[in-house]
């Protein structure tokens, strides 16, 4: 039975009916805000390609996190810009490293906000790769040991959850046993499982000063053309103990988000990355699109695809919109 019996528009007639039949709802509970911490005092420098996002010193970060908490965003993910870089990225596992300083201050001064740390080396190494280099390429197994050390050092300084983004083979298992061996059995791991080698990370690499000096990350991050491989990558991370699995980027990979959710029925996170954010902001600043509306449409589409959690530079904007009394 078709037209004229069925008229799809009956369910679209007015906002109340649309509310009743709406299948996907985005809430503030879904959001994680990425933040960048740098050395110094009273520093808040805007990242030019990511308007509304800043390099912040620890004191400013603490205030920012209090505001994020007030917006009822459940968590943040922290990225560090170290005072100095070296071949092994040793600031990332130093007791006095930038992330460790930030964690200690946040734990002291901000209550009830989940503090997640990105675990990787590209922000901390002088060569900008995600691990230890040997003859021009990253040595997977040598990097694993340092990843365990970095994760442990973050947790000892107060991290509530660890998010490895390095894409070394075997890292989730190594981090799990490093944490367990020191009694941190209840600290969850959110694994960047299907992380693609993507040009959408461009603005982030400016933000985190983490572009590789030579070469690229194609040897360890995934080929954008692959999706079966995303399922294998994710399965391996789950077997090694991942509690949340992530697909990254989000928008060009909605099919991958969908597949991973269908296949594993695990908590799935999607990273709405820097380039995706920058495109919307650039167009909105030119008056070409309505930035707020496009942001909400994009975040809803990521959820509709199957993500339970969205890491997004729009988290504060989205929370403000969602918290408005008249937002439906
Ligand atoms: C670190 C890391 C990157 C991002 C998150 N963690 C960059 C990269 O892999 O080059 C990208 C985030 C973004 O673009 O918003 N490895």
User: Is 260 in contact with 309 (CB distance < 8 Å)?
Assistant: no
**Which domains does the chain possess?**
25-324 (3.20.20.70)
* pLDDT per position as a tens digit, 172-202: 999 999 999 999 999 999 999 999 999 999 9
C-alpha 139/C-alpha 141 separation (Å) is 6
Residue 132 has pLDDT above 80, yes or no: yes
C-alpha 327/C-alpha 321 separation (Å) is 7
Helices (H), the chain: 15-21, 58-70, 98-109, 140-157, 171-181, 202-207, 228-239, 254-264, 274-285, 291-305, 315-323
Q: Which atom of ligand 1 is nearest to the CA of 203?
A: 14
Spell out the residues 6+ positions from residue 127 whose beta carbon is closer than 8 angstroms to its own: 87, 133, 212, 213, 214
User: If DSSP codes are grouped into helix, strand and coil, which group holds residue 243?
Assistant: coil
Q: Is 182 a catalytic residue?
A: no
Looking at the chain, the whole-number percentage of residues with pLDDT higher than 90 is 89
- Work out the average pLDDT over 46-71: 97
- Using the mean position of ligand 1's atoms as its centre, give its distance from the Cα of residue 283 in Å: 22
User: pLDDT band at 135, cuts 50/70/90?
Assistant: confident
Q: Which atom of ligand 1 is nearest to the CA of 130?
A: 16
The binding-site residues of ligand 1, defined as CB within 6 angstroms of any ligand atom, are 118, 120, 122, 130, 165, 201, 204-205, 273-274
User: pLDDT band at 67, cuts 50/70/90?
Assistant: very high
Query: What was the pLDDT predicted at 96?
Result: 96
- DSSP track, 88-120: S-GGGG-TTSHHHHHHHHHHHH--S-EEEEEE-
User: Is 45 in contact with 55 (CB distance < 8 Å)?
Assistant: yes
Q: Check residue 86 and report its DSSP letter.
A: B
C-alpha 286/C-alpha 283 separation (Å) is 5
Residue 326 has pLDDT above 80, yes or no: no
C-alpha 327/C-alpha 250 separation (Å) is 25
Query: What was the pLDDT predicted at 216?
Result: 84
Choose which residue among 208, 218, 278, 279 to substitute to test ligand 1 binding: the one with the highest number of ligand atoms within 8 A of its C-beta: 208
Residue 315 has pLDDT above 90, yes or no: yes
User: pLDDT band at 1, cuts 50/70/90?
Assistant: confident
- DSSP track, 165-221: -S--TTHHHHHHHHHHHTT-TT--BEEEEEEB--GGGHHHHHHTT---SSS-STTTS
Long-range CB contact pairs, 180-186, < 8 A, 24+: 182/152, 182/155, 182/156, 184/152, 184/155
- Work out the average pLDDT over 115-121: 96
Pick the range with the lowest mean pLDDT from 199-213, 236-250, 276-290.
199-213
Taking phi over 0 as left and psi of -120 to 50 as alpha, with beta for the rest, 303 belongs to alpha
**Catalytic choice (67, 149, 218, 248):** 248
User: pLDDT band at 230, cuts 50/70/90?
Assistant: very high
User: pLDDT band at 16, cuts 50/70/90?
Assistant: very high
Name the residue with higher pLDDT: 218 or 302. Answer: 302
* CA atoms in the 13 A half-sphere facing the CB of 209: 14
Q: Is 149 a catalytic residue?
A: no
Q: Are strands 268-272 and 309-312 parallel, antiparallel or unpaired?
A: parallel
Residue 207 has pLDDT above 90, yes or no: no
Residue 4 has pLDDT above 80, yes or no: yes
pTM tops 0.85, yes or no = yes
């Amino acid at each position: 039975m078709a037209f004229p019996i069925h008229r799809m528009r009956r369910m679209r007639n007015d906002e109340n009916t649309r509310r009743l039949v709406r299948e996907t709802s985005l809430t503030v509970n879904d959001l994680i805000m990425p933040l960048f911490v740098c050395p110094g005092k009273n520093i808040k420098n805007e990242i030019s390609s990511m308007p509304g996002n800043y390099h912040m010193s620890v004191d400013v970060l603490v205030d920012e996190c209090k505001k994020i908490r007030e917006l009822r965003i459940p968590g943040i993910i922290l990225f560090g810009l170290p005072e100095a870089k070296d071949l092994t990225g040793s600031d990332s596992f130093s007791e006095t490293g930038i992330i460790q300083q930030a964690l200690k201050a946040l734990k002291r001064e901000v209550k009830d906000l989940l503090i997640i740390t990105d675990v990787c080396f590209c922000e901390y190494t002088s060569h900008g790769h995600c691990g230890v280099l040997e003859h021009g390429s990253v040595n997977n197994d040598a990097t694993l040991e340092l990843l365990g050390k970095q994760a442990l050092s973050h947790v000892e300084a107060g991290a509530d959850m660890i998010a490895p983004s390095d894409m070394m083979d075997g890292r989730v298992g190594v981090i799990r046993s490093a944490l367990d061996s020191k009694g941190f059995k209840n600290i969850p791991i959110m694994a960047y499982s299907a992380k693609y080698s993507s040009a959408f990370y461009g603005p982030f690499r400016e933000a985190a000063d983490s572009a590789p000096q030579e070469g690229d990350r194609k040897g360890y991050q995934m080929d954008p053309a692959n999706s079966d491989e995303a399922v294998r990558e994710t399965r391996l991370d789950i077997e090694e103990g991942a509690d949340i699995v992530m697909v990254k980027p989000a928008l060009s990979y909605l099919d991958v988000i969908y597949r991973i959710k269908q296949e594993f029925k695990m908590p799935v996170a999607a990273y709405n990355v820097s380039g995706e954010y920058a495109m919307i902001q650039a167009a909105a600043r030119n008056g070409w699109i309505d930035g707020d509306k496009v942001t909400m449409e994009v975040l809803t589409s990521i959820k509709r695809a199957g993500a339970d959690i969205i890491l997004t530079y729009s988290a504060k904007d989205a929370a403000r919109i969602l918290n408005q009394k008249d937002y439906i």
